Structure 1
Amino acid sequence: MPKRLLQRIMPDPEQLKANKNLRFLNRWLQDGNIWRLNRRAAAGAFAVGLFIAFVPLPSQMILAAIGAILLRVNLPLSVALVWVSNPLTMPPLFYFCYRVGATTLRTPAEQFSFHLSWEWFVTTMEHIGPPFLLGCLICGLISALVGYVAISQLWKFSTLRKYQKRRKLRR
């Protein structure tokens, strides 16, 4: 079941390889391992994508693609999973990361309001930066581990169930 569902939502590798905007990546896109969909590739893609989703940078999809290529896990799945942190979920997600980091460092959580300016960013990051970044790292590692184990176990369970059904039909 997970394999069929994932195959349905993944883009076609040939279309991506033929895309003129991605030609400079052709050498890396030729690796068959980043397009395979098996238990290791899917679980690894979940780990990469969920970890990168907690990286507070605007280039999450690029980082997920690089991680997938380096670790030779499923590329489309890794890139798609960074959208766990999208413009709607980012504020509560990153606030949660800040609270995790503040709790871990045993510092009181500070109240702050958002102002779109460079001065605000620099001043605020001096105070909330360390707990925020530590919280992002902790949440990223935990979500990557949980995602890897959950998909791996779900895949095992699905394969075992399919095997048992086949075995039952043979009798």
Structure 2
Amino acid sequence: MAKRFFQSWLPSPEKVNSLKLMKIFGDRALSPQLWYVNRKSISKAMFIGTFWGILPIPFHTVLIVLTVLLFEANLPIGLILAWIMNPLTIVPILFFAFWIGSKIYHVHMINKDMLLGVFHQIIHWIQNFGHGHIDLSLAKILATGLLIEAMIFASLLFIATRLYWRWSVVKKWRERAAKEF
């Protein structure tokens, strides 16, 4: 049941390989192991795609593909999850990351004065052609929060996928057993 669910909406290997980005990886991206739908490959892809998808870094799609190739997870699932970070989700993701970071570093949640101070530092730094000081404490708070948030959500999605898969297999076993009697 879970296998059919995932196979029903996954694109074909040829469709994904036709993307310009995938030409970089050549025939390795068409390896059958990267397209196999089973509990392990899907749950690993869920973890990889969610982890890299939450982090607002450039070229996260390339990092997802490299990680999927390294751990032999399902390629399309990993790529689909790269779109977790989008204009609709970026604000809650960043807010939650700042909240986590502020709890870890025992600072108050960011307020208007703090943001204006950082903005002023950046403008001063640009006006002085890179000379001056920029306080990176907010970046440290955000980066720490993002890494922890990515690990939490990736782990939760990994576990949820494994549990859903197990539930669907047990359900199918019970249905088959009920038909036999």
TM-score range, shorter chain: 0.7 to 0.9
Q: Which moved more, 1:24-33 or 1:98-107?
A: 24-33
Q: Which residue of 2 aligns with 1:165?
A: 175
Q: Which moved more, 1:40-49 or 1:63-72?
A: 63-72
Unaligned runs of at least 5 residues, structure 2: 126-132
TM-score, L = length of structure 1: 0.86
Letter in 1 for 2:35: W
In structure 2, how many angstroms separate the alpha carbons of the residues matched to 1:150 and 1:39?
Answer: 11
Cα offset for 1:161? Answer: 0.6
Give aligned pairs, total.
169
In structure 2, how many angstroms separate the alpha carbons of the residues matched to 1:126 and 1:155?
Answer: 43
Q: Which residue of 2 aligns with 1:149?
A: 159
Taking a change above 3 Å as real, the CA distance of residues 24 and 57 of structure 1, as seen in their structure-2 partners, is closer
Letter in 2 for 1:46: M
* Larger Rg computed on CA atoms: 2
Taking a change above 3 Å as real, the CA distance of residues 124 and 144 of structure 1, as seen in their structure-2 partners, is farther
| 1:1-171 aligned within 5 A | 1-17=1-17, 22-111=22-111, 112=115, 119=122, 126-171=136-181
Taking a change above 3 Å as real, the CA distance of residues 67 and 21 of structure 1, as seen in their structure-2 partners, is closer
Q: Which moved more, 1:13-22 or 1:24-33?
A: 13-22
In structure 2, how many angstroms separate the alpha carbons of the residues matched to 1:107 and 1:31?
Answer: 48
Letter in 2 for 1:161: K
Cα offset for 1:141? Answer: 0.8
RMSD: 2.5
Q: 1:59-93, CA deviations, whole angstroms, 9 ceiling, x for partnerless residues?
A: 22222222111111001101111222211110221
**Structure 1 segments of 4+ aligned residues over 6 angstroms from their partners:** 122-125
Unaligned runs of at least 5 residues, structure 1: none
Letter in 2 for 1:83: W
> Percent same amino acid among aligned pairs?
24
